[in-house]
């Protein structure tokens, strides 16, 4: 039911494939995107509905964000995010039963501007039946060299409480009173935004994450060869290290075309102490049309190696000290193609609204696993000879924004 508790590379399967900490950071980056030093966020309200469907998993729910300035130097924000998850994924079918649950998340934040410096703080609380995560974050941004350069330093801290659901005698899901684990996460970031020319902006980012505590998944299992049993394998609990350190660096270049369009290219490199190495390449194109429309398209490619202690099928029980069969730690490639449209309009009957926009975005994700097999087909192909697993998913977002 709950996904891997460790921070992951940037591009695992989206939303429902992320760990609670990674989902928290993702929501934080979306909801409280870094502001430019010297410029406070606009007063605005955003309402969104998101849907993810793929791999027999459906995730949908609302998101609400409100930002408001208080005077000339302070901006406050508050948000709410919800995931309603229904899963009968390949992992669930192998070792558990289909489930439905809801994850709710609230966040608050503040940005304070003093001269060319902006200080940002915030807190996020996320909860679901078997996982509670609290995250605080802080950052300082400074404009320099004639406002052509912005340097931002950030720090994140998260505390997770991990539970495990079991069924009571009446068949209702309850927390297992014998299982309660904790995890602690810290993140440090440094970013540089540099205006190179009147049409070109360079962004460089570095992030260091450290995780400690229970980083496994209480529901997912490893499997090992057992020729005389069932379909040729036996399931057992995963065993993870209790520490993980990861490093990620990225470079982004944005070029504004003469006809108000923009091209963006990004490369990101990730590595961690579990042996995962990942590369991300992304291209985006934004194009205004007519008077009120803006269209955009994106293409993203992600590739990662497997963790040192990952295997789809271990030779025997207790084969090594650490063992995992979480597909997020497998080797895989994924491709994401996305298109979006935004329409800006005014509401004559509401003069207090300066402008409004309606936005729609659709993405298609394909994930090809190199060493994670469909164990549900072991009876047909034999353990270890099953077809490699492939995931296809569609992500849909519709949201409206109001500036006031």
Domains of the chain (ranges plus CATH)?
15-403 (2.40.160.40)
**Please, which pLDDT band fits residue 170 given cuts at 50, 70 and 90?**
confident
Q: What pLDDT shows up at residue 351?
A: 84
In the predicted model, what is the mean pLDDT of residues 295-324?
Answer: 97
Average pLDDT of the chain?
Answer: 89
Q: Which two tokens stand for residue 42?
A: 């606009």
Between 322 and 40, the more confident residue is 322
Query: Residue 38: its pLDDT value, please?
Result: 61
* DSSP-assigned beta bridge partners for residue 146: none
Residue 34: per-residue pLDDT: 42
Using the CB atoms, write b or e for 327-346: b if 16+ within 10 Å: bbbbbbebebebebebebee
- Segment 339-360 shows an average pLDDT of 92
pLDDT exceeds cutoff 50 at 17: no
Closest CA to 266 of 255, 285, 253: 253
Cα–Cα distance, 318 to 226 (Å, whole number): 13
Q: Which tops the pLDDT comparison, 62 or 260?
A: 62
16: pLDDT strictly greater than 60: no
Residue 63 has pLDDT above 80, yes or no: yes
Q: Is the pLDDT confidence value at 92 over 90?
A: no
Q: Tell me how far CA of residue 336 lies from CA of 89, 367, 394, 401, in angstroms.
A: 20, 9, 10, 25
Over residues 342-371, the mean pLDDT reads 93
């Amino acid at each position: 039911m709950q996904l891997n508790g460790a921070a992951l590379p940037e591009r695992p399967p989206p939303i429902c494939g992320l760990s609670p900490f990674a989902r928290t950071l993702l929501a934080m980056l979306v909801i409280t995107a870094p502001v430019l030093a010297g410029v406070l966020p606009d007063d605005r309200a955003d309402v969104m509905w998101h849907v993810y469907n793929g791999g027999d998993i459906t995730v949908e729910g609302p998101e609400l964000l409100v930002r408001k300035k208080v005077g000339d130097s302070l901006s406050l924000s508050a948000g709410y995010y919800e995931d309603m998850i229904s899963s009968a994924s390949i992992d669930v079918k192998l070792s558990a039963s289909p489930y439905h649950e809801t994850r709710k998340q609230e966040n608050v934040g503040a940005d304070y501007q003093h001269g060319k410096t902006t200080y940002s703080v915030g807190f996020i609380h996320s909860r679901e039946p078997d996982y509670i995560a609290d995250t605080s974050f802080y950052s300082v941004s400074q404009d320099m060299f004639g406002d052509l350069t912005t340097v931002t330093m950030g720090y994140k801290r998260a505390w997770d409480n991990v539970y495990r659901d079991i069924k009571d005698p009446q068949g209702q899901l309850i927390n297992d009173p014998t299982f309660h684990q904790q995890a602690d996460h810290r993140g440090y970031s440094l970013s540089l935004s540099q205006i190179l020319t009147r049409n070109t902006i360079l962004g460089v980012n570095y992030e260091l994450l450290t995780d400690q505590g229970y980083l496994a998944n209480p529901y997912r299992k490893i499997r090992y060869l057992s020729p005389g049993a069932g379909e040729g394998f036996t399931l057992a609990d995963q065993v993870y290290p209790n520490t993980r350190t990861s490093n990620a660096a990225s470079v982004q270049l944005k070029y504004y075309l003469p006809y108000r369009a923009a091209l963006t290219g990004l490369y990101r490199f990730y590595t961690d102490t579990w042996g995962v190495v990942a590369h991300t390449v992304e291209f985006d194109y934004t194009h205004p049309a007519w008077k009120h429309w803006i269209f955009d398209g994106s293409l993203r490619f992600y590739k990662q190696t497997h963790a040192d202690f990952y295997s789809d099928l271990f030779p025997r029980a207790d084969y090594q000290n650490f063992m995992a069969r979480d597909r997020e730690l497998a080797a895989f490639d994924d491709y994401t193609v996305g298109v979006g449209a935004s329409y800006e309009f005014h509401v004559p009957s509401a003069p207090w609204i300066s402008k409004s926009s309606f936005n729609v975005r659709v993405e298609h994700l394909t994930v090809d696993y190199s060493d994670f097999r469909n164990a549900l087909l072991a009876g047909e192909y034999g353990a270890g000879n099953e077809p490699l697993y492939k995931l296809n998913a569609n992500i849909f977002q519709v949201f409206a924004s109001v500036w006031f």
